[in-house]
Structure 1
Amino acid sequence: MILVLNAGSSSLKIEVFDEALRSVTAGRVTNLGSAGELRLGDNTSAVKARDHAQALDLVLAALRDAGYPLTAFSAAAHRIVHGGAVMTAPARLRPPVIATIESVIPLAPLHNPNNLAGVYALQKLAPDLPQYCSFGTAFHATNPEVATRYAIPQTHHDAGIRRYGFHGLSYANMVAEFGTELPEHLLAFHLGNGASLCAIKGGKSIATSMGYSPLSGLTMGTRSGDIDGAAVLRMSKALGEDETDRMLNKTSGLQALAGENNMKTLLERTDDAAKFAVEHFCYWAARHAGSAIVAMGGVDAVAFTGGIGENAAPVRDRIMALLSCFGTVPVHVIVADEEKQIARDALALMAQGR
């Protein structure tokens, strides 16, 4: 069995898969550092974990009590948000790989340290257990340079300022779920509180809407999406760098337009602000989609995943109506499952003896 860990800023999610990629059990510890919950399967209890290491202790104890001791696992596998320009494929977490992940922390200062916290904690508890990782940026490593290069001086490009793209594990899982039925030109939307799209040609990412960070691209739950750099500079002068960063990532998007970022609630509301927010979300998704279709030279099918993509039919319908100028194509809804993709990657590496 494979133990998959997804360490976030204030939570630790786990899921166990067997060799056939069937989910055996799943759980999480929430609200690290304060009063939270430990959930495993159908069982929930109140806990307080000070950090990821203590959260992992709690999860492993719950797994042991449920009949899954640490010795039952063949390997552990982790989600790492950012692999930089070097880590472009899943890998076994040996010291050189860990050092590379540490070196790109400046590219994802809010994510990679949390992801690594789960790696460090498990190393101490089970030093002989093989650990693997999958990167949220790796799927987009096939983007051509013309799609990833910003038109900025070489020194800044060399310092890592380029488009990377995110949600790669979700898109990789989508490709795997299509299997032999994968369309040649697939326009893929990952729509949730974070939202992006990807032009997938022949199973490979050709272009994606997110860039240097997950801020750019589509309108999102609390992120602004694309905004002119000069506007950011002006706001930064007025508010300061940290407050501008917080505003663009935490209080913009649907939250700024309609006072909340819950798409289900916004669709139920009848006021003008809610209607405008939903239309803004759909309009910019479709507008960026036009760019993606150009990048891959056409579109044979559209696929939606993520909480909004899977559950908000009015959003899917509106986006497809805006894209009707490209003709009628099949529309698919794929369940988002990053954890399954992480387990799939680890099993593939193990089968190769890595």
Structure 2
Amino acid sequence: MIDQYSFLRPWLFCLDPEKAHNLTLSNLDRAERWGLLQRFITKPIADPHTLCGIQFPNPVGLAAGLDKDGKHIDSLAALGFGFLEIGTVTPRAQPGNPKPRMFRLPEAEGIINRMGFNNDGVDACVARVRKSKFWQSGGVLGLNIGKNASTPIEQASQDYVFAMAAVYEIASYITVNISSPNTQHLRSLQSEEMLRSLLHDLSEERKKLSDRYGVHKPLFLKIAPDLDQEDIHLIAELLVEFGIDAVIATNTTISRETVKGMEYGEEAGGLSGAPVRAASSQVIKTLKARLGNALPIIGVGGILSGADAREKVMAGASLIQLYSGLIYRGPELVNECANALRR
């Protein structure tokens, strides 16, 4: 499959990045319906990992952001991921930020996006999840939730509580995204006062939902790579205090140190891919040193090879997630990372 993607990539890179993204996913859907993915994709050998009461068939997952609405669940699952994370979804549908809002930096193997949580709303996503073969067959599917752009930051917890309640029944786990740089003031939720209030509200709501559905769903928090050590230590303490089950490190970066002078390097938005790898791994190391074995870390950011996947695990991650690496390496990256971690 890697040869086919190597052939297609130059053509895809001639297109607008968002258009190429949508076209690729549409063609993946067709290939899955026609049975082609099952024939040509080499799926990883089973390597189960149990985390937060969930058994993951292998430790390589899809990061949130690639399939924001759950429109491509079955075709993405056919690439061999051990788990998928869908979203970010918000209570109400919203168009996101104006286009263009995605930019490639091939020289750095990076991507800048300022999508802005464009999605059809949480109810539409939940309906698609229920119809997917992957979910119906018991696949591990996380739902990543956020707040609407029009919701004042002081009322953000209302959006998160609403979205968590909407996805609770169908999610294997729920990720709280407070680290996207593309929704105004969102990252301020990582400050002590606001994060404490948000985690309190979510914890209280989860108790009610656990009673209602008779199951305690794991709650994860996704953080930014641009935090200093003091901020990371504070967040680690709050994670333990409020019984959050895992932390995902990290989201995209607002730093441009690694892409200075490159075309599109100064575009607004979050930078992902190879340029964020070192910062992401450092956050993981800092979290691991602070948390020990108190709760697991899921590593994401700049994984473009099996060696990069091992780096995240050596830093302290128990599982990893891919996104931008798929754009540069193609679907064979899933199997490569799974094999690297199994060895």
How high is the TM-score relative to the length of structure 1?
Answer: 0.29
Using CA pairs under 8 Å that are at least 6 residues apart, name the structure with larger relative contact order, 1 or 2.
2
